[in-house]
């Protein structure tokens, strides 16, 4: 199962690779990374159909923000689930994300116990 993590902070890649090391090593999970909303759409559009089944995206990014990316993904790839990540747990972003079809909303610092539980549910459903 392939997931895409979208965040303009490059150190997020190392963090996700560390936290999901066992799942990746066992072949249960493949991680892909994009560092902007535009790059995320390029990754999703590069495979037909996309192998990505889940996207975790930061909200606050330069250029296309995460909420705009969510709208684009839901229009172009409605079968892909998207969860949003924000450094700010503000109600306005939460409501907009959920109204736009986000599955979950995580705040930074990310609770990887909750996130891993979500990913493990996806892996079980996908297999």
Residue 118: the pLDDT is: 85
44, 72, 113 from 8: Cα distances, Å: 17, 18, 23
Other beta carbons within 10 Å of 95: 11
30, 31, 70 from 46: Cα distances, Å: 16, 15, 18
| Digit-coded pLDDT (tens) for 11-56 | 999 999 999 999 999 999 999 999 999 999 999 999 888 899 999 9
76-80, 88-92, 93-97: range with lowest mean pLDDT = 88-92
pTM: 0.93
Nearest of 102, 2, 95 to residue 46 by alpha carbon: 2
Q: Where are the domains of the chain?
A: 2-126
For residue 32, which phi and psi values (nearest 5 degrees)? -125, 150
Nearest of 116, 120, 82, 114 to residue 101 by alpha carbon: 82
Checking if the pLDDT of 88 tops 90, the result is no
CB-based contact 52:31 (threshold 8 Å): no
What is the rounded average pLDDT for all residues in the chain? 93
Other beta carbons within 10 Å of 60: 16
Residue 49: the pLDDT is: 85
Instruction: Please identify, in words, the CATH class of the domain defined by 2-126.
Output: alpha beta
Residue 122: the pLDDT is: 84
């Amino acid at each position: 199962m392939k997931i895409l993590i979208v965040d303009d902070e490059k150190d997020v890649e190392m963090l996700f690779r560390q936290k999901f090391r066992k799942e990746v090593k066992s072949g249960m999970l493949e991680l892909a990374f994009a560092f902007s909303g535009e790059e995320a759409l390029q990754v999703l559009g590069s495979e037909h159909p996309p192998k990505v089944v889940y996207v975790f995206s930061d909200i606050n990014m330069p250029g296309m923000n995460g909420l705009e990316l969510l709208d684009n993904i839901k229009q172009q790839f409605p079968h892909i689930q998207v969860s949003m990540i924000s450094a700010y747990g503000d109600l306005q972003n939460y409501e907009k994300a959920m109204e736009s079809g986000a599955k979950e909303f995580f705040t930074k610092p990310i609770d990887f116990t909750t996130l891993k539980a979500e990913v493990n549910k996806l892996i079980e459903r996908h297999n």
